Amino acid sequence: MSLFGKKKDENIGCCCEGGCGAKTMEETRQVQKTGGSVKVLGSGCAKCNELEANTKAALAQLGMDTTIDHVTDFMQIAAYGVMSTPALVVDGKVVAYGKVLKTQEVIKILQKVR
């Protein structure tokens, strides 16, 4: 018997170290698992909306029929490791964050990723 034994390491698999509920964690896992999509991460401010509009324009120019999800839940945004918005996620990977991309920049990213 040890008085000062190591505390059991609990692997909760959460970026906020247990501050979120089971429902939020499951939603976040589903968001990360789904691929083949384009997401804009942000609170819904003018910069986030501008990135979404530029992304829609880029998809239209490339002839891609992909829907854009606008994620505003900060727990889901943090699950991607993003602390600076707006951010762009393509096929489950963060490709840009912290700035508004122009339409041509989004086109280059989409051509490179896909």
User: What single-letter DSSP state applies at residue 6?
Assistant: P
- Catalytic residue IDs: 45, 48
The fold of 37-113 is Glutaredoxin (3.40.30)
The pLDDT of residue 65 is: 85
The pLDDT of residue 66 is: 87
Rg (CA), the chain: 18
- 45, 57 in Cβ contact below 8 A? no
The pLDDT of residue 3 is: 66
- Return the domain boundaries, the chain: 37-113
- 71, 40 in Cβ contact below 8 A? yes
The pLDDT of residue 9 is: 47
- What DSSP string describes 30-65? HHHH--S-EEEESSS-HHHHHHHHHHHHHHHHHT--
The pLDDT of residue 113 is: 86
Can you list the residues of the chain whose pLDDT is less than 50? Answer: 9-12, 31-35
